[in-house]
Structure 1
Amino acid sequence: MGRKSLKEPRQKEIIEAFYRLAKKEGLENASIAKTANLIKINPSLVMHYFKTKEHLIYGLVEYILHKYLQIFKIPPRYQNDPKKALKIVIENIFSHKWNTLFDDSVSYSCYALVFRNKIIRGKYKSLLDELRKKLEQLIISCNEQKVLSVKNPAYTADLIFVLVDGAYYYLSLADDKKEYTTKLSNYKREAFKLLGLT
């Protein structure tokens, strides 16, 4: 039996360290050397997996997707109940849980790079499309089991995520906890209306 490659676990460890560093010091101040120092490895080992800081950022964007997809995890008891699963996902998306999956400052710093870097733009587009596709598939499952009648699942999923993206961008500016909670609840209600759910 051959020895298992450490490539993927090591890459993940490096990306997670880079994320922690970016969260603490800002993406612009995070570096290969600081990342290596944080996990007590030689910088050349980081560069073995990620040739430049730019490549580390590519990995970070993929890490964001992995984190955000956790919102679609459904408890086993609801796996065969698409309506309940959809409600859970909407509740998750419009909750503090969604907003704590990944640090806003790091996410928005990465997102700002889409205006200057085509590869990062493509990765972000894939990330956002994947989230929409997952929600669309849940809506289609509900339609197939005749527990919902959404005419255009793809369009509806897109509208819900437009609402989500705008909501969190705006709410990141809110200092008042009551205002944050009230507005988030209002946005969630609108998402349920789009689905024909109360």
Structure 2
Amino acid sequence: MPKIVDHDLRRKEIVQSFLCLARTEGLENVSLRSTANHAEVSLRQVQYYFKTKENLILAGLSHLEEVSYQSFNAKLQQKNKSASFKDKLNALFEAALPKDENSKMFHLIWTAYSMMAQRENNAISPDDLNRSPVQVQAMLEQILVEAQSAEELTHINIGCERNLLLGLINGLSASVLNGILSEKEATQAFRYHIERL
């Protein structure tokens, strides 16, 4: 009986190997062959699933976006419906912080993708990077709209506050990643802002 291959799992393992190598070697320096070696599959298998390095780069970005969305969503799901909007915002911020190896890897590779998108003739464009921040913006806006409807928030410009919170999350996370702020200092700064809402 022929062996049944889980193609989705195999594809995911190859992408994870690519991203693992990208962290240490840089996105541009990872080849299909080195990805195959790291994933312990043949080069032909990598080519079967992705055809080109550009496709593998895009698949890596999609994987990062999915992981990011799942992390944010999981943190929100841990909060019950009666949780305050401040608790929900804190949960999103906590999910964004680079506080362990996996989240640090995510931030480092995301930064590499951002740098790649700024150069011409690359596999990705700035538009490709917009999907994940747009998802986070939607989550933030939903929290703020619900808080306003419940009269937890008054006299607020939802759009401006949503964008400010997104900027705080990204900026404070980058500061922790680069050692400018500790996780505790970044958390205190974020909570200081939302306590003033």
TM-score range for the pair, normalised by the shorter chain length? 0.7 to 0.9
Q: What's the counterpart of residue 80 of structure 1?
A: 81
Residue 13 of structure 1 deviates from its aligned partner by 1.4
Residue 68 of structure 1 deviates from its aligned partner by 1.7
Secondary structure of residue in 1 paired with 2:35: helix
Among all aligned residue pairs of Structure 1 and Structure 2, give the percentage whose two residues are the same amino acid: 21
Counterpart Cα distance in 2 of 1:77 and 1:61: 26
List runs of 5+ in structure 1 lacking aligned partners.
none
Residues 3-54 of structure 1: CA deviation (Å, up to 9, x unaligned): x984432221111111111123332321111111112211121112212212
**Does residue 93 of structure 1 match 2:63?**
no
Q: What's the counterpart of residue 31 of structure 1?
A: 31
**Does residue 173 of structure 1 match 2:178?**
yes
TM-score norm. by structure 1 comes to 0.78
Secondary structure of residue in 2 paired with 1:73: helix
**Does residue 112 of structure 1 match 2:118?**
no
- Tell me the amino acid that sits aligned with residue 130 of structure 1: Q
Contact 1:27 1:109 in 2 (8 A): yes
Q: Kindly report which structure 2 residues correspond to 1:2-151, keeping only aligned pairs within 5 A, or say none.
A: 6-69=6-69, 70-74=71-75, 78-83=79-84, 84-93=87-96, 96=99, 100=103, 102-116=105-119, 117=122, 119-149=124-154, 151=156
Mean alpha-carbon deviation: is it higher for 87-96 or for 162-171? 87-96
Contact 1:11 1:49 in 2 (8 A): yes
TM-score norm. by structure 2 comes to 0.78
Change (3 A) 1:22 1:98: closer
Counterpart Cα distance in 1 of 2:77 and 2:43: 42
Cα RMSD (Å) of the superposition? 3.0
The aligned length equals: 189
Residues 41-81 of structure 1: CA deviation (Å, up to 9, x unaligned): 11121112212212111111111212222123147563322
